[in-house]
Amino acid sequence: MSVLSALGVGAVDGPATIAGQLAIGSSSSFGPSWLTPPSSAEVGPHGWAPLDDEFEIAHVVDPRFHLPNGEPIFARLTYAGALEVAAREGAALISGPQVAELQQKGIQVGGVYLPDAAIRAAAAGPLARRPGEPMEEWDQRLRNAGMTSLSWALHHDAVFWSRLGSWPAGALVAGAGKHWVAGAPTGRAWLMGWWDASTGKFIQGLPNPGDAGFHDDSHHDYGTTTVLVRRRDGAPMGGGGSSSGGWLVAALAVAAGAVVAGIYLTSSRKRSSSSSSSSSSLSLGSRRG
């Protein structure tokens, strides 16, 4: 077992130094905090996908780093940075109800929650589990040490892709992290995502109007991803990107704990894909159009 690793990260405005793989018991550090500057973020190679008759969405990536399958990693922007990218692209951040609509309509990939077994196995030295330490406390120490690192972002995305396999052109895909959503008060940040099929709810649910949220607009971690929304007719965005019909039905369905239709990938596919992904070498790629 190994974890895709990126230690010795350089300046966030330039390519990082990739240190190869992280084997069992080999990591006493996950590397420094890291994020994507807005100037480096771009719409992903899968482009824009229709969400409904009015709107289309796109995931934002960081093209400076690629996984072994050639896919760029998802951008890890702050909320403020995500708003900057949205404005540059003539778009808005996805709204909470639209996240629910995406979950209802898209190919569903279960949330990647870290630390997982692979990261726990790699932890060594000060990160190793202490005698008698409860699992919850150990996991929190690991999160404190690694949740904003490039190594965790890479591992999250490698697991995501091992579950998805491929991204069909024009397809809606749900589950690529938790998304920054439109409408947060000035200086604050709203997140929504990580669908829990066992409860029929999002682990991080729809924020209430005026809710300050858990984070300020400078927060970022391995799970914070950005999805943009724009009008399909090319008209300017307004009102934070909230649509006026289908999203309400989706939101009510989610709130009621309705069964969400979608594609759940089998565990056998996860195992086979994960094995091939984690054993591959990691390389930096050039910008992809």
* Average pLDDT score over residue span 13-23: 37
- In angstroms, the CA 122 to CA 114 distance is 13
Backbone φ, ψ for residue 184 (5° rounding) = -65, 145
CA distance 16 to 10: 5
Peptide bond between residue 207 and the one before it cis (omega within 30 degrees of 0): no
Q: What is the pLDDT of residue 169?
A: 85
Name the residue among 195, 194, 182, 232 with its Cα closest to residue 82.
182
Provide φ and ψ at 94, rounded to 5°.
Answer: -60, 145
> What angle, rounded to 10 degrees, do the helices at 246-255 and 96-105 form?
80
Quick: pLDDT tens for 80-138: 999 999 999 999 999 999 999 999 999 999 999 999 998 999 899 999 999 999 999 99
Q: Which range, of 30-39, 46-55, 122-131, 256-265, averages the lowest pLDDT?
A: 256-265
Nearest-Å Rg of the Cα atoms of the chain is 18
Q: Among residues 273, 261, 106, 259, which one has the least CA distance to residue 179?
A: 106
The domain locations on the chain are: 2-277
CB atoms within 10 A of CB 89: 17
Alpha helix segments (H runs only) across the chain: 79-88, 96-105, 117-122, 135-146, 150-164, 246-255, 267-278
Q: Specify the 3-state DSSP secondary structure of 253.
A: helix
- Percent of the chain residues past pLDDT 70, beyond the cut: 73
| Ranges 165-174, 208-217, 246-255: which has the least confidence | 246-255
The pLDDT score that the predictor gives to residue 209 is 84
E strands present in the chain: 2-4, 21-23, 42-43, 49-50, 55-66, 72-74, 92-93, 107-108, 173-174, 178-180, 188-189, 191-196, 201-204, 215-216, 224-225, 227-231
pTM passes above 0.85: no
Helix or strand or coil: residue 61? Answer: strand
